[in-house]
Structure 1
């Protein structure tokens, strides 16, 4: 009896395979050192399959950044929605710090200036955070600016914790105080 299973994976699965292979290579070799051939070999696909999903290595790096940001934003939004209100904003900030520290190598390789792709992209995390702030029962007067300021504080605290882990608890408490002072 012949199998009726398809011989090839659906397009979205192939794209995920390519992204997974590229993510592994980026973490091992950096964004500049791997080739399209390395990605297709790692994904177990022909080189032509790569070009069905991406126009270039830069396009692939943009897609990796987009995927990273979406995962990051999903973790933050989940934490924020679980708490709600100002507590949700504090949860958003803490989840961002935790998520960044969990995968600092991938973040740094993807977002270091030498790893920039071929296009500028909006800051999805700030945009998502601004939408969350705007939906609060008592939103700040300018959710976009507030999101940018709080995001920048979160990012700065996280970078400092990477270099001085012993300061983590103190800096996280400072982030909590900042949120309360900005949002009430």
Structure 2
């Protein structure tokens, strides 16, 4: 009939509804605090609809991670494209920091098995690295900032190697070169 609203949404919209409902539940209850039925109720769909899009809760969580990373990467690229050369790289990095800080809680729930406490303990690794940097014959201007940057680079390289083990030698060489270039 002309002028009537369809009774069903397109599959992409239903998938988005499921992801949105799951994200809200994830933030309010944590990974173990909700069921597939909670998600379908939140999305306003039948339980069978869930299985048209996801095999199980793990598949749903993977999709949420992919969506998070996609949004993150798109925001970074949009900022980088506003500039040329090194300024574009700097804008990309600043956008990454802003995106992460803007959604720390979601990031942590999606990518870490436990969420942050009210007051996290100091990071012993970066504290130790700060001390090592400060003890160099020619220490960086701000050893704590440099320690944080190098720790993040180490973390990123490690994550990359986990997903692409065949790149380990190249990644570790690059990390070594980074350390050498910023400290000499």
State the aligned residue count: 126
Q: Residue 2 of structure 1: CA displacement?
A: 6.7
Gaps of 5+ in 1: 116-148, 157-177
TM-score (norm 2): 0.62
Cα deviation, residue 114, structure 1:
6.1
Match of 1:65 in 2: 65
Pair 1:112 & 2:112 matched: yes
Q: What's the TM-score once normalised by structure 1's chain length?
A: 0.62
Contact persistence 1:93–1:154 (CA under 8 A): no
Runs of 4+ with deviation above 6 angstroms: none
Q: Aligned residue for 1:48?
A: 48
Give 1:33's aligned residue. Answer: 33
Match of 1:77 in 2: 77
1:35-184 equivalence runs, <5 A: 35-113=35-113, 152-153=152-153
Alignment partners' CA distance in 2, 1:3 and 1:92 = 46
Q: Which has the larger radius of gyration?
A: 2
RMSD (Å) for aligned C-alpha atoms: 2.7
1:81-108 residue CA offsets vs partner (Å, 9 max, x unmatched):
1112111111111111111111100000
Consecutive unaligned residues in structure 2, runs of 5 or more: 116-148, 157-177
Alignment check: 8 A CA contact 2:108 2:114 kept: no
- 1:4-43 alignment to 2 at 5 Å? 4-43=4-43
1:112-164 CA distances to partner (integer Å, 9 max, x unpaired)? 0469xxxxxxxxxxxxxxxxxxxxxxxxxxxxxxxxx98934979xxxxxxxx
